[in-house]
Structure 1
């Protein structure tokens, strides 16, 4: 029984791309907690993108807005325009742009940790 569950878990992870690609989306929100709407991406979209634009005018209190979207390409990682700065982060896994600014390394780490915890739970429960 344990072997069947582990095999099923591995199969689900391997066929991940067979399901529609999804990302978190929002436009110019002041908090990441307001950027947790999930959207189905179009077929050509391969990246989840997070853009953090610094718009603050006070040096000691920077203010920024967060935008998240699906994209067929990964935009330039950072740009400075008119004394404002944009930090851009791209990742290639479904829903990997959950954090305010995410990265490929952190999304792989979180996914690996989730798989490890699931397998450990299955073995501890004796399934």
Structure 2
């Protein structure tokens, strides 16, 4: 299995745009470590999005919350809302939104972890 699993993983990595597209998803979590749920996106979704919304500095409250999702488009960045602001990051590779809001580039190590997670997900749920 070692060779075939590695071959399958490499094939998945190089042919990543093929459906199903997957992203990490969560809703308004206080920590990025709580945003590692893998979800299969809809066929029209081509972006993984991370939104970090500043919620203030009240005692015993988080400074920001993180949401992650699939999206057919990349939302505008730096949107302003009443009494809060949010930073938006989007990327176009499967599971590329593993980190919090950052640049469009991701390291090969993070991408390798994403591929490993997706292969594990596929074998676990026998898709």
Task: Return the TM-score normalized by structure 1.
Answer: 0.71
Q: Is the 8 A contact 1:29 1:66 kept in 2?
A: yes
Determine whether 1:93 maps to 2:93.
Answer: yes
CA RMSD, 1 decimal: 3.0
Structure 1's 9 and 54: CA in aligned 2 closer, same or farther, altered over 3 A? closer
Report the counterpart of residue 84 of structure 1 in structure 2: 84
Equivalent pair of 1:49/1:71 in contact (CA under 8 Å): yes
Bigger-Rg structure (1/2): 1
Rounded to whole Å, the distance in 2 between the matches of 1:46 and 1:36 is 19
CA distance in 1 between partners of 2:8 and 2:41 (Å): 26
Partner of 2:14: 14
Task: Give the gaps of 5 or more residues in structure 2.
Answer: 1-5, 115-127
CA–CA distance in 1 between the matches of 2:39 and 2:9?
25
Distance 1:86 1:94, change over 3 A: same
TM-score using structure 2 length: 0.71
Report which of the two has the higher share of helix: 1
* Structure 1 unmatched runs, 5+: 1-5, 115-127
Aligned residues: 110
